[in-house]
Structure formats: C-alpha cells, structure tokens
Amino acid sequence: MDRFKDKTVIVTGAGSGIGKSTALRLDAEGAKLLVIDINEEELGTTHSMLKNQSSTSHIINIASLNETKKFFKDFQETNKQLDALINVAGILRFDNSHEVEIENWNKILEINLTGTFFMCRYALPLLLESKGAIVNVSSSAAIGAHAWTAAYSASKGGISAFSKTLAVEYGMRGLNINCVCPASIQTPMSTNPKMPKDIDTRLLKKIMPLDGVNRSPDDIASTIAFLASEDAIHINGIDLRVDGGLLT
C-alpha cells in the first residue's frame, strides 16, 4: 500500500512505542514524515530507520507553547503542505487518587491534553488548506473506568471531547478528526509500571482484553494509518476502540 505517497505527516511521540510504530508504518506507505519527541536518542533511532530521506526529526516538548509555535512557523517555511497530524506523545502514572500530587496532575494534563491541543491549534490552518486529517491517541481510559489513573483518564477524556469539537467545527470544511482509544499495548509505558502500594488486585481484571493478550504497537499503528488515510474519508469525530474487546 502506498496511501501516503506525496503526503506530509507529523507524528508526535515517535521515539517509542505506538508513535515509533506509526512512523515506521507511514514511512512504509510512502509518507514524508516530521517526527517529534523529547527523547533525542530514541527519536534519532526512529529517524535512522525511515526510508524516506526527506523525513526530518524534531526535539520538541509538545507541552511548550513556544516550542510548538516555532515548530509550525519553521514548518511553513520549508514545507509545501501538511496532510495529517498524528498526536501520540503522552505520559502515564498510577496513583491512588487521594495521593495524587498536584505537580503530577498538572504535568499529565499539560503534556497529554494541552500539548495535544497546541499541536492541533497550529496544524489546523495548514490542514484546512489540504483538507487533511488529525488522529489523536486517546485511551480506553477516556471511555471506561480505570483505577489509579485520575489525571491520565481526565487528560484522555479531554482529548476525546475536544477532538469531537474539532470534528464538528472543521468537518464541514473538509477535515477528518478522530481518536484512537487503545488498551493493553506492549510498550515501555505499559511494561512494569510503578503501581501504588496496597492496591486491590481485583481491579486489575478491569484492564484485561477479552483474550488476555497484550498486543503490539503495530496493531495501533495500522488503525492510525487507516484513520489518517483516504480510506477513512467517511469517518469523523469518533473514538475508535482498539482494546481487544476490553470495554465490550
């Protein structure tokens, strides 16, 4: 498939996990990519794996208004058009809700929610010209209940909610804006997470897919590639669960 031949796509969180798999998938389908992360070493590795020699890598903290603004200013000087924005970057931590530190609450909201918004905010004028797509990575935590993730769930619920606002606001002008809601994907984020002490382990059952199998980030990358492509032209403003039936 070469659905992204002659298309320019931005992918955040491309240094690891789902973002990295998405970058590699879009590259395999012909995209020119601008890959973003805060982890320079990991992003360098992803960049070195891309076949398209015109793809570039950018060390950006998506939660920084100045950095995202400058990224898009520079983008306009060196690129003809933007066809899709894929927001994957995010962080997670588990805490008993009555023990959440305000610094951690703010950090999760700033990166996951506000950072995703900053990227959309500055990409929208460019996407209006190309009639492009946005795919935001939300989570099953935005739709179903997860224990110990108050800040994370709030941030993902926010992403799903504001993405629908964007879909309604810009859908009539040709944009497709959707969310993917993954669960149980094997990445550095989900491997051996630090859990709060004294948790009730019965609650862990609530975060298992139906077949009990944790899947590869490639299984989310394929969904993201679909939603960002012309194949999904009639899909707008949805939360697409890719969760192994967890919330069924």
Ligand X SMILES: NC(=O)c1ccc[n+]([C@@H]2O[C@H](COP(=O)([O-])OP(=O)(O)OC[C@H]3O[C@@H](n4cnc5c(N)ncnc54)[C@H](O)[C@@H]3O)[C@@H](O)[C@H]2O)c1
| Active-site amino acid positions | 152
In the complex, minimum distance from the CB of residue 129 to ligand X, in angstroms, rounded to a whole number: 25
Residue-wise over 91-108: b if at least 16 C-beta within 10 A, else e? bbbebeeeebeeebbebb
158 binds ligand X (CB under 6 A): no
17 binds ligand X (CB under 6 A): yes
185 binds ligand X (CB under 6 A): yes
Determine the straight-line distance between the first and last CA of the chain, rounded to whole angstroms: 31
In the complex, minimum distance from the CB of residue 244 to ligand X, in angstroms, rounded to a whole number: 10
63 binds ligand X (CB under 6 A): yes
Tokens coding 186? 């094997």
Total residues contacting ligand X (rule CB under 6 A)?
A: 33
Q: Which is nearer to ligand X, 63 or 240 (CB)?
A: 63
- Of 57, 68, 114, 139, the one binding ligand X by CB under 6 A: 139
Instruction: With residue 183 as reference, give the H or E element that holds it.
Output: none
* Secondary structure E strands in 74-207: 84-87, 133-137, 176-182
Tokens coding 11? 């992918």
52 binds ligand X (CB under 6 A): no
Secondary-structure breakdown of the chain: helix, strand, coil percentages, each rounded to the nearest 5: 45, 15, 40
- Of 7, 27, 85, 90, the one binding ligand X by CB under 6 A: 90
Interacting residue ranges for ligand X, rule: CB under 6 A? 12-13, 15-19, 36-39, 42, 61-63, 88-92, 111, 115, 137, 139, 182-185, 187-190, 217
